[in-house]
Amino acid sequence: MEGTDPDEEEPNIRVVLEHRFYKEKSKSVKQMCDKCSTIIWGLIQTWYTCTGCYYRCHSKCLPLVTKPCVRSKVSHQAEYQLSICPESGLDSQDYRCAECRAPIALRGVPSEARQCDYTGLYYCSSCHWNDLAVVPARAIHNWDFEPRKVSRCSMRYLALMVSRPVLKLREINPLLFNYVEELVEIRKLRQDILLMKPYFITCKEAMEARLLLQLQDRQHFVENDEMYSLQDLIDIEAGRLSCSLTEIHTLFAKHIKLDCERCQAKGFVCELCKEGDVLFPFDSHTSVCTDCSAVFHRDCYYDNSTTCPKCARLSLRKQSLFQDSVAEAEP
């Protein structure tokens, strides 16, 4: 129809290969099309962005998209490639781009071959824009956070994965804790927070204050002390995580030990020396019995050669109950 804006005829939502494309409204922002690698002129061209992986392209390029949405891979296979730049050679790719299969060569004829430091594969200049990203394998094995050149597909995958706690460091590289002091500090803080968690989930005041929501951006910190996200490691290396986690640890300890009478009442008295202040399992100078979870001064616990007093009482009680049940059963 004459006088009709062609942009109005384009649907707002289009689904292609699991991408969920939404039509963009911005006219002033200049973007690059992920499909044809040319500029998107928002004033005169209709363009779309995938809400899952942020793939951007012209409306005219949508039918040409051949790569499925990276978010679907993250949903079904949330794990990293953990070998450092696992190159197999351009000949193993038949001298073609690993993504679009266009002919490539190291000399740039017909198209320059660019290696992705994450996958080790080679790509054409349309699929590899020399974007920079921290590579998980280098961070875990070498504690190296220098951004490296990666393909567009790898960049989107790494961006979607960066906050997912999928790295079990003590299995992948246990020696890392011997060389990175900050990791040992963070692990201790996380272990303390897990010891604090039972106080909070049974405390009305803590639930009303929503204290555990202080860690809502790192929910795995209140679930275990083993799993890390790549963002955790980046923040540890930069010194940010230690500061923020120490503040949260201090806030949690203050609630339990000073602010809340109900939580204070769940403290322990050292049964070995029967002296000193009320103890809590997350105190730095305490030790916890692995069998009954009783808390003692660390010096008392290791200096005392006898068994745990609470365990001894529980054992005697079980024996007494057993003897009573046997006596009742006898005619």
Residues 82 and 108 in one domain: yes
| Residue 150 CB contacts under 8 Å (≥ 6 apart), including other chains | 116, 117, 118, 119, 128, 131, 132, 133, 135, 158
Q: Which of 234, 250, 265 is the last residue of a domain?
A: 265
Cα separation, 275 vs 253, whole angstroms = 21
Please check whether residue 257 lies inside any domain of the structure: yes
Please check whether residue 28 lies inside any domain of the structure: yes
What's the mean pLDDT when you consider all of the chain? Answer: 86
The single residue listed with the structure tokens 């001064």 is 297
Please check whether residue 260 lies inside any domain of the structure: yes
Domain that holds residue 59: 13-70
Q: What is the DSSP letter of 111?
A: S
- The secondary structure of 158-187 as a DSSP string is HHHHTT---EEHHHH-TTHHHH-HHHHHHH
Report the domain count for the chain. Answer: 3
pLDDT of residue 167: 95
Q: pLDDT band for 322, please (50, 70, 90 cuts).
A: low
Cα separation, 120 vs 194, whole angstroms = 39
Residues 65 and 136 in one domain: no
Residues 62 and 127 in one domain: no
Residues 206 and 156 in one domain: no
Please check whether residue 93 lies inside any domain of the structure: yes
Cα separation, 163 vs 293, whole angstroms = 33
Please check whether residue 66 lies inside any domain of the structure: yes
Listed range (121-130, 249-258, 315-324) with the worst mean pLDDT: 315-324
* 24 touches 47 (CB < 8 A): yes
- pLDDT > 90 in the chain, percent: 44
Q: How far is CA 141 from CA 37, 159, 233, 240, 286, in A?
A: 34, 20, 12, 21, 34
* 115 touches 122 (CB < 8 A): yes
**96-135: string of b/e by CB count within 10 Å (b at 16+)?**
bbbbeeeebeeeeeebebbbbbbbbbbbbbbbbbebebbb
Residues 175 and 259 in one domain: yes
Averaged pLDDT, 239-263: 93
Please check whether residue 191 lies inside any domain of the structure: yes
* CATH number of the domain bearing residue 141: 3.30.40.10
Q: Six-digit token pair at 258? A: 């000073």
* CATH number of the domain bearing residue 18: 3.30.60.20
pLDDT of residue 179: 92
Residues 82 and 143 in one domain: yes
Please check whether residue 227 lies inside any domain of the structure: yes
pLDDT of residue 288: 85
* List of E strands, the chain: 13-16, 19-23, 31-32, 39-40, 47-50, 56-58, 114-115, 122-123, 131-133, 148-150, 167-168, 227-228, 286-288, 295-297
Residues 191 and 259 in one domain: yes
Residues 216 and 154 in one domain: no
Residues 45 and 130 in one domain: no
Q: pLDDT band for 38, please (50, 70, 90 cuts).
A: confident
pLDDT in tens, 104-155: 988 877 778 999 999 999 999 888 999 999 999 999 999 999 999 999 989 9
pLDDT of residue 80: 92
Contacts 24+ apart (CB under 8 A), 316-323: none
Residues 186 and 233 in one domain: yes
Q: Which of 130, 145, 162 is the last residue of a domain?
A: 162
Residues 154 and 95 in one domain: yes
Cα separation, 80 vs 227, whole angstroms = 13
Q: Which of 130, 162, 194 is the last residue of a domain?
A: 162
Whether the predicted pLDDT of 329 surpasses 90? no
More confident residue, 139 or 79: 139
* 33 touches 57 (CB < 8 A): yes
Whether the predicted pLDDT of 98 surpasses 50? yes
Please check whether residue 316 lies inside any domain of the structure: no
